Structure 1
């Protein structure tokens, strides 16, 4: 009888341990903003509005540039770039944010002239791939060194680069090792919403990074209920990825335009004239928070996007992504403050 009791107890314990190994739990949410680089040094007055909404994190984004999606040479850290887009400015931004107890995700981006999508990059030969890989690794390792020097909390090793990821997996496996060798913080990669289930190296990272522009509603002004329903199939995919890889999901970008049909193609960033629709934006934000923020496997995210000149951003009345000066800013404040209390 004692042997049977012991066996049953052992089995229950084993099942619990196996179940726990497949479940990740996040205690403290990342309540972040995606901080847009500027021409100028960052000042305390630029930080105060972030503190005011209860944000505890910010993404800082240095840029590298290529001429077109087939061009193999990446240019970065140039004096021709804005201060906040290059090494010197990134360091100053990180240091001031840290002085205000704001955690940082250092998130290098590539910009292709004329706004071509980075996920479509395709080199024309093996030689071109090698040239591009060499310059890209130099780009990432430069900022990995800065991240280590400044004790930056998270480093994102790439943003929306699916063709590169898909066609050059060996490069990425080695890049992760090289980054780990010089940087002791947490690492992620930010993949576009429609390719997030096709990244082969999630288990080697600390977060599954998602640029979360999932289509969730067709209506001109979707209700919160409609948008929550639209999240159901996407949430299943995201939750499954977290369970399979036993790491949390981080929305490396999330947000909506304050425009009509903002939930239909949330990734659309082209300029267009049209009336503001702040109700659409705030309803979509509310649905996203209700869907994800209380999930134990969800790490939080960074609202896209936040400009350093808060007064100017709130005064422009544009229908673009920033929540500044709109109903969505107050909603961010509500959720961010509540999630840390």
Structure 2
């Protein structure tokens, strides 16, 4: 009887462990001019990432231009359908799962969330060209068995002005792609996104302001997360969906937690510790929560040996202390 009891406890323990959902430990794998080789994938595996976001691009001339141009011979290889397919196939050979995340780039880097048309005719043109863009990559997601497909990134005005279009687009994507869907809402947008119930994850680009000090401590940044964390958990409860950080990350510079979304070319002093501490703070606050699915570090370049480094104040954690932080936490989860 004692042996049977021990056997039952072992089976119960194994069953419980098998039901624990693995976190999405992802990197945002930046498109390049080049094809990728095993040399480019090895650092992704070594940082213990189990997912990569692949990001082909469509281009728009201005915030009021309705034509999405994509998959042309004028784009970098990694920004095209052929490039995304090659990236996906090699990453999958290394057992790295995929979120395919086609994105819009507005000329001169203007914020996509402000994109709005000036006439009904232009809205109709935008809807047609954006649908062509998204459905093209939905087919690629299905053909390559990508685990997650992201139908848009930070497009608040488009979503707000054309809600019926987005409902219809989701149905069209579902008719093509059988995997899980999300949308990457900006950190101050997700509470107004109307279609979470039709998707599988609440996607958030997690550039929440945490602290205004030049040298915030990890504890101060964790404290800065508390109000945002409560709202995220409330959204997860309301929609009965897990939160997925479709992007998260910090620049290796002073004031890193003040406006984490900044992508400008400022000359702010390099601060490697601030980036590492901010990264630890986000892991400590979220990766243990059962309503949290995981996230994708922004951003990871294919040429690892030439990326980041101790004199770089940009987002990538590559060849900085933050890379070791990510490796350790991803290894634990």
TM-score band w.r.t. shorter chain: over 0.9
Instruction: Find the residue that maps to 1:336 and give its secondary structure.
Output: helix
- Alignment match, 2:236: 242
Aligned-residue offset at 1:217: 1.0
1:123-159 per-residue CA deviation (whole Å, 9 max, x = no partner) reads 0001100000000000000000000000000000000
- Given that residues 309 and 318 in structure 2 are in contact (C-alpha distance below 8 angstroms), is that contact kept between their aligned partners in structure 1? no
- Once residues 316 and 216 of structure 1 are traced to their aligned partners in structure 2, the CA distance between those partners, rounded to angstroms, is 24
Q: Following TM superposition, by how much is the alpha carbon of 1:222 offset from its aligned partner in structure 2, in angstroms?
A: 1.0
1:65 maps to which residue?
59
2:308–2:314 CA contact under 8 A, matched in 1 = no
Partner Cα distance (1:280, 1:72) in 2: 40
Whether the 8 Å CA contact 1:26–1:296 is kept in 2: the answer is: no
Distance in 2 (alpha carbons) for counterparts of 1:138 and 1:97: 26
1:307 to 295, 298, 301: 301
Q: Does 1:56 align with 2:65?
A: no
In the alignment, what sits opposite 1:44? 38
How many angstroms apart in 2 are the aligned matches of 1:88 and 1:281? 34
Cα distance in 1, alignment partners of residues 284 and 120 from structure 2: 46
2:328 pairs with one of 310, 334, 338: 334
Work out the CA distance in 2 between the residues paired with 1:255 and 1:315: 16
Q: Which residue, 201, 213, 230 being the options, matches 2:195?
A: 201
2:186 pairs with 1:186: no
Equivalent position of 1:218 in the other structure: 212
> Which consecutive unaligned segments of at least 5 residues does structure 2 have?
1-18
Alpha-carbon RMSD: 1.0
Counterpart CA distance in 2 for 1:156 and 1:316 is: 33
Alpha-carbon distance between aligned partners in 1 of 2:211 and 2:43, rounded to the nearest angstrom: 30
Match of 2:107 in 1: 113
What is the 5 A alignment of 1:284-323? 284-315=278-309, 317-323=311-317
Residues 262-320 of structure 1: CA deviation (Å, up to 9, x unaligned): 10000000012232101111111111011100000100000000000000004573100
Which of 135, 142, 161 matches 1:141? 135
Q: Aligned partners of 2:226, 2:121: CA distance in 1, in Å? A: 44
* Matching of residue 89 in structure 1 with residue 91 in structure 2: no
Provide the aligned length of Structure 1 versus Structure 2. Answer: 315
Q: Is 1:74 aligned with 2:72?
A: no
Partner of 1:228 in structure 2? 222
Structure 1 Cα separation of the partners of residues 309 and 101 of structure 2: 28
8 Å Cα contact 1:37-1:84 kept in structure 2: yes
The Cα offsets for residues 14-54 of structure 1, whole Å up to 9 and x where unpaired, read as xxxxxxxxxxx971100000010000001000000011110
Separation in structure 2 between the aligned mates of residue 329 and residue 288 of structure 1, nearest angstrom: 14
In the other structure, the counterpart of 2:5 is none
Which residue of structure 1 aligns with residue 93 of structure 2? 99
Q: Cα deviation per residue 1:42-70 (whole Å; 9 max; x = unaligned)?
A: 10000000111100000000100011000
- Tell me, in whole angstroms, the C-alpha distance in 2 between the residues paired with 1:50 and 1:131: 39
- Asked which structure has the greater RCO (Cα within 8 Å, sep 6+), the reply is 1
2:222 and 2:284 mapped to 1: Cα distance?
8
**Matched residue, 1:33:** 27
> Secondary structure at the residue paired with 2:307?
helix
Quick one: distance in 1 between partners of 2:216 and 2:275? Answer: 9
Within 2, Cα distance between the matches of 1:293 and 1:239? 13
Moved more, 251-260 or 218-227: 218-227
